Amino acid sequence: MHVSSPIREPLVTNGKTLGDVTNDVCKQVEGKPTKLWYFAMAFSLVLLGLGSYSLYITWTQGIGSWGLNKSVGWAWDITNFVWWVGIGHAGTLISAVLLLFRQKWRTSINRAAEAMTIFAVFCAGSFILMHMGRTWLAHWALPLPNTYGSLWVNFNSPLVWDVFAISTYLSVSLVFWFIGMVPDLATIRDRATSPISKMMYGFFSLGWSGSAKDWSRYETVSLVLAGLSTPLVLSVHTIVSMDFATSVIPGWHTTIFPPYFVAGAIFSGFAMVLTLMLVTRKVYKLEDYITITHIETMNKIIMLTGSIVGVAYITEFFMAWYSGVEYEQYCFINRATGPYWWAYWSMMTCNVISPQLMWFKKIRTNIYATFILSIVVNIGMWFERFVIIVSSLHRDYLPSSWTYFYPTIYDVGDYIFSFGLFFTCFFLFAKFLPVINMAEVKAILKSSSERKDVKHH
């Protein structure tokens, strides 16, 4: 059996038994929706509604309803797209990469983190569809045989690679999340009392019984999916970074982008997981499963990836100087001192200074500090994408094309739509599905909980 070092912090506190795990997680699914849940859903639906009006205007009036112009062809649309995709990366990292590294602490957060990934990718995809303008021609991005010769997509373009990367990422994450959920859906099915619950959970649990042979195959499937998802998550954000890196624009055309973007994605993704989990564990009373140890470990990862992002900033700056290329040098001077200096300094404060605070144990084990810092990090990462995109586009090679970009109400409105979509999906998930992977937490209970008395026999 597993032996865990006695100096490790327990991952499940308060003497929980297997039955407790089932009850604590299932009672949130089985109970009637609380007032707080209705309030949360109402809030998300309001955002969704307001955002949908903005989306309607964007679709019917066109991209001209945004603040874009000939110099700044991408602004909030692509900033938001990259922001959401980056956030999505933490879920796959927690599910897949931490499984390969045998990190038992992932078991209480991986279900919710993977759900966050899927909903974040929905939001990212919505910006891709929106920014096409003629969204009803979105199928032109796919390599389908057609009557125009067949006119194919250009496989040399990172924009086409993105189509494959994002759709593969969404589908593989979805299947990994769902397969992982089947045993827990069976647990809920076996406890269900109402006929609708029995039917729905029965349908989606695919007849799972907990047979040893099924578990054996399930473990193989989980391991292989984890092994596939790990390079997938690294490749997806690398390909997204190549949307910029393969161009010739100063500030974009740099080989640091792939690792820089991947580290930044993990950074913002973990921050979003923390934001969501700190609220969920409080509301659902799951503090014994998502412990301070879990929060501290996630903060350490934020500190690490935030430091990598900080080093990448220094590298970009250094290379701009060392290369002697005056356009690249101007780009960075402009970022710090030009019209968008406020965005640049917000980014630097939020992304470089805040993760360094995690060196202090008092801060990384404090829930309120963690919550505030997780939001600060996400704000900083939004500004990072904004700075990369807009500051490089608004002043590139030809000074007569230099201009300023202002967002319109519809730029903001479409962003609000994505929040509405994300939170509506997340709150539906939190009500109808088990937010913690019960089977995995039960599997680590003996070795990693506070019930040290049952270890020796």
Interface residue list for other proteins (CB under 8 A): 1-2, 17-19, 21-22, 143, 149-152, 155-156, 158, 160-161, 164-165, 168, 171-172, 175-176, 179, 182-183, 186-187, 189-191, 202-204, 206-221, 223-225, 228-229, 231-232, 235, 239, 242, 438-440, 442-443, 446, 454, 457
Q: Which is nearer to other proteins, 27 or 217 (CB)?
A: 217
Closest approach of other proteins to the CB of residue 428, in Å: 20
**Cβ of residue 125: shortest distance to other proteins, in angstroms?**
15
Residue keyed to tokens 């094309």: 401
Quote the crossing angle between the two packed helices 326-337 and 341-348, to the nearest 10°.
80
Distance of CA 455 to the CA centre of its chain: 37
> Whole-number minimum distance, CB 187 to other proteins, in Å?
4
Residue closer to other proteins by CB (options 214, 296) is 214
Neighbours of 166 (CB within 10 A): 20
Q: Which of residues 239 and 271 has its CB atom nearest to other proteins in the complex?
A: 239
Which residues sit opposite 449 in a β-bridge? 12
Please identify, using beta-carbon distances, which residue of 182 and 343 lies nearer to other proteins.
182
What's the DSSP call for residue 397? S
φ/ψ (deg, to 5) at 210:
90, 15
If the CB atoms of residues 89 and 364 are measured against other proteins, the closer one turns out to be 89
Count the residues in the chain.
Answer: 457
Collect contacts of 164-170 with beta carbons under 8 A, ≥24 apart.
Answer: 165/235, 165/236, 165/239, 165/240, 166/85, 166/121, 166/124, 166/125, 166/128, 166/236, 168/232, 168/236, 169/88, 169/92, 169/121, 169/232, 169/233, 169/236, 170/118, 170/121, 170/122, 170/125
Choice between 146 and 337, CB closer to other proteins: 146
Query: To the nearest whole angstrom, how small is the minimum distance from the Cβ of residue 148 to other proteins?
Result: 10
Minimum CB distance to other proteins, residue 5 (Å): 17
Output the six-digit token pair for 380: 């900083």
Closest CB to other proteins among residues 8, 217: 217
| Residues in contact with 93: Cβ distance below 8 Å, sequence separation at least 6, in sequence order | 233, 266, 269, 270
What CA–CA distance (Å, rounded) separates 53 from 63?
15
As measured in angstroms, the least distance from the Cβ of 159 to other proteins is: 11
Output the smallest distance, CB 25 to other proteins, in A.
11
CB of residue 104 to other proteins, shortest distance in Å:
12
By beta-carbon proximity to other proteins, the closer residue of 150 and 194 is 150
Q: Which residues contact 68 (CB under 8 A, 6 or more apart)?
A: 74, 75, 77, 405
With contact defined as beta carbons under 8 Å apart, do 75 and 390 qualify?
A: yes
Complex with other proteins: residue 148 or 342, whichever CB lies closer: 148
Question: For the chain, how big is the Rg over CA atoms in Å?
Answer: 23
| Distance in Å, CB of 398 to other proteins, minimum | 21
Please, are residues 332 and 344 in contact by the beta-carbon 8 Å criterion?
no
